[in-house]
Chain A
Amino acid sequence: MTPKFKAGDRVVVDARDHVGHCRTPTYLRGAEGRVRKLIGIYKNPEELAYFKEAADYPLYDVVFDWKAVWGVDGPDEVAADIYEHWLKSA
């Protein structure tokens, strides 16, 4: 699987709802961030959690400015690991 994004790319976390096990925190859905690096290729936890045959997805280290997450200016950042199927190009 060829990763769609590379370090430095601007991405938006998809704001969709998800029923069941999911590793994309709701507070980051809809937020724009920057791909810091590709971590590697991992199995989709949404399927793995139910012992299904899980698809491989690239996993990225994504950094978010304070304002992108909380809507107010702040000096700090949040970083999270997000699977590619939750990311769109910004």
Chain B
Amino acid sequence: MPHDGHHHDDHAPIEDGGEITEYEVLEQAIRELLIEKGVVSADAIQRQMDEMDSRTPVMGSKIIARAWTDPAYRDRLIGEPKAALAEMGVTKLDENPEVEVVANTPDRHHVIVCTLCSCYPRVILGMPPAWYKKRAYRSRVVKEPRQVLKEFGTEFPDSVKIEVHDSTADMRYLVLPMRPEGTEDWTAEQLAGLVTRDVMIGVKVPVRP
């Protein structure tokens, strides 16, 4: 049975070739010029890309889980986010826009958007998801947040005020969600598993499975 054990994973088609867009041509031309003129090196560009790829929501999950289990850390995270993030190993905070942490409460829920482009707490979470950059999310969440959240499966009674943060300038926002009930004896490591990227953007809330 030669096919036994031969397994095909479902995946998006592998893109190879295809039409190159004007912007890609422009980016390539500028990049090559900068390298040629000695403004930046190819190595430096690659290091920057590797560093961006190394930032993932896993770091955010650990930070939130620590805030849930360590009240003093929670206070520092809200009051002095830069120091609190550095404590958890977030690097290059000085080279990135400042992060502000907004905490959900029983009567206030925060959701983050950048209506002008795609500002996002990249220094912690890495690259934003594709939908975060789409016009549909950016234009709708400031106008009909409850409808948009509902599409993510998140609903609140009117007694919970939704605060939409439009990241218009120099601050990047990270949502500190509420710790789910029934997780009192969970470890920080277990809790981190509940903190997805989407709950740190505020389109979802963490739930105990």
Contact = CB atoms under 8 A, between A and B. Distances in A.
Contact of B162 (A40, A63, A76, A83): A76
A81 B116 contact: no
A45 B158 CA distance: 37
A76 B164 contact: yes
Interface string B168-188: 111100000000000000000
Interface residues of A, number: 23
Interface in B108-155: 115-116, 142-143, 145-146
B168 A75 contact: no
A59 interface: yes
B161 interface: yes
B168 A24 contact: yes
B164 A27 contact: no
Interface string A44-60: 01000000000000010
Given A25-B115, A27-B142, A83 B164 contact: no
B165 interface: yes
Contacts of A81: 166-171
Contact of B163 (A42, A76, A82, A83): A76
Given A25-B115, A75-B161, A75-B162, A80 B143 contact: no
A83 B170 CA distance: 10
A23 interface: yes
Given A76-B145, A76-B146, A78-B142, A23 B169 contact: yes
9 contacts: A24-B168, A27-B143, A39-B171, A40-B170, A59-B170, A75-B162, A77-B164, A78-B142, A81-B167
Interface of B: 115-116, 142-143, 145-146, 158, 161-171
